[in-house]
Amino acid sequence: MLKHLLASAISLGLCTTALADTLQVPLIWLRHAEAERPVLSNLDPIPEDRGQAGAELGLSDNLTTGKFLGQDYSLEVIEIPPEADPLPDARAALARSPYMVLDAPAETLLAIADLPEAQGAMLFNAAASDMALRGENCRANLLHTKTSYAMQTDALMQFARAKRWEDLVLITGNAPEDAAYAAALTASAAKFGLTIAETKPWIFDADMRRNAAQEVPLFTQDLADHDLLLIADVANDFARYIAYNTWTPRPIAGSEGLRPVSWAPVVEQWGAAQLHSRFQDLAGRDMTPRDYAAWAAVRAVGEAVTRTQSADPTTIRDYLLSDNFELAGFKGRPLSFRTWNGQMRQPIPLVTRAALVAQAPLEGFLHQRTELDTLGLDAPESPCTAFQ
């Protein structure tokens, strides 16, 4: 059931010269799979190695740098099926390395972060966008390279504000993450002075691949007047069938249409094309937001090890949370970590399936520290106390 893989420097053909002086930096990639929700469309299958391939690219980037500096990185891959208990494997893995990149639901993240073996370790959340993980349930040993829902929805609302699309309506799916995303959309709308006039739950269990043209016009006919139609459907079960079938012709945004994402193949500027091409060579597919989050976590450790010449987790944590840390993340601005909740601050591209439309923070949204902190939970509103 468990798949343990060891990708070491040697297996990648990058031998370091002086092994005696080499700084060894083992990393763990641990995935506690979530049961996948059935969705209507088969067009966007979830890649088997989602996230993991990003971690592997980060490893390869670290190894190239490391070979010039006498640093050797390795990545151990641990896969745990949804029904299995992840804690025994996590415990054992933490004995082998203090650096663990996690692709797991919020409950698993918290359970691992609370293990006695995890105290003093550096865990990275590369999958979950839940707000509570950055708020009341934050943990001092858990940093987040995945963007939070609020970062994503703040980006979208900055765009709506800049466009003066002030009247909004929202269609929400029925999954718990849809409710979380809808709550973030609602909070972001309020933050930027916009109103969601109406929220309407999606009610159909029919196959929209055949029925969208009949059902969606009627479903949207009685919506309040709006400039922009928001859709909270994180798994994109029905959102893709809304466009062009609405009663009134309005742009759509959120889970379909204009999407705020942490990464997408349409991001081409800022050297992003090179990252895409390296990822394509490695994985043979497009790089997803979770791949990006995993890549950023592994690279953050690599960058901190390079700058501090240390593999000690306390030294690395201090450096990651200091003003000195910056990661070149191919989004035009250096990425860094928020000291109040461990969230990696980063620009949010607003994309369609074919192009980058804009990138938040948008011009004109100011902040006394950095404009990147106009996205997501800012220090004064953060209920997280673990980092104090």
Query: Closest approach of Cβ 249 to other proteins, in Å?
Result: 32
Cβ neighbours around 18 below 10 Å, total: 7
Q: 151, 156, 216, 372: which one contacts other proteins (CB under 8 A)?
A: 372
Q: 51, 53, 54, 61: which one contacts other proteins (CB under 8 A)?
A: 61
Handedness of CA 152, 153, 159, 161 (dihedral sign): negative
Query: Closest approach of Cβ 68 to other proteins, in Å?
Result: 4
- 356: contact with other proteins by CB under 8 A: no
Angle of helix 149-163 relative to helix 176-191, nearest 10 degrees, comes to 40
Backbone angles phi, psi at 171, to 5 degrees: -105, 130
CB-CB contact of 146 with 102 (8 Å) = no
- 334: contact with other proteins by CB under 8 A: yes
Nearer to other proteins, 146 or 345 (CB): 345
Q: 168, 327, 350, 358: which one contacts other proteins (CB under 8 A)?
A: 327
- 89: contact with other proteins by CB under 8 A: no
Tokens 């995945």 locate to 146
Q: 265, 370, 373, 383: which one contacts other proteins (CB under 8 A)?
A: 370
Query: Closest approach of Cβ 315 to other proteins, in Å?
Result: 17
186, exposed or middle or buried, with CB in 10 Å at 0-12, 13-18, 19+?
buried
Nearer to other proteins, 259 or 338 (CB): 338
- 64: contact with other proteins by CB under 8 A: yes
Nearer to other proteins, 47 or 332 (CB): 332
Query: Closest approach of Cβ 61 to other proteins, in Å?
Result: 6
Nearer to other proteins, 151 or 252 (CB): 151
- 332: contact with other proteins by CB under 8 A: yes
- 12: contact with other proteins by CB under 8 A: no
Q: 8, 22, 65, 308: which one contacts other proteins (CB under 8 A)?
A: 65
**Lookup: tokens for 72:** 């050797």
String of contacts with other proteins for each residue 274-293, x by CB under 8 A = x--xx---------------
CB-CB contact of 67 with 14 (8 Å) = yes
Judged by the rule CB under 8 A, the positions of this chain that interact with other proteins are 61, 64-65, 68-69, 271, 274, 277-278, 303, 306-307, 326-328, 332-334, 370-372
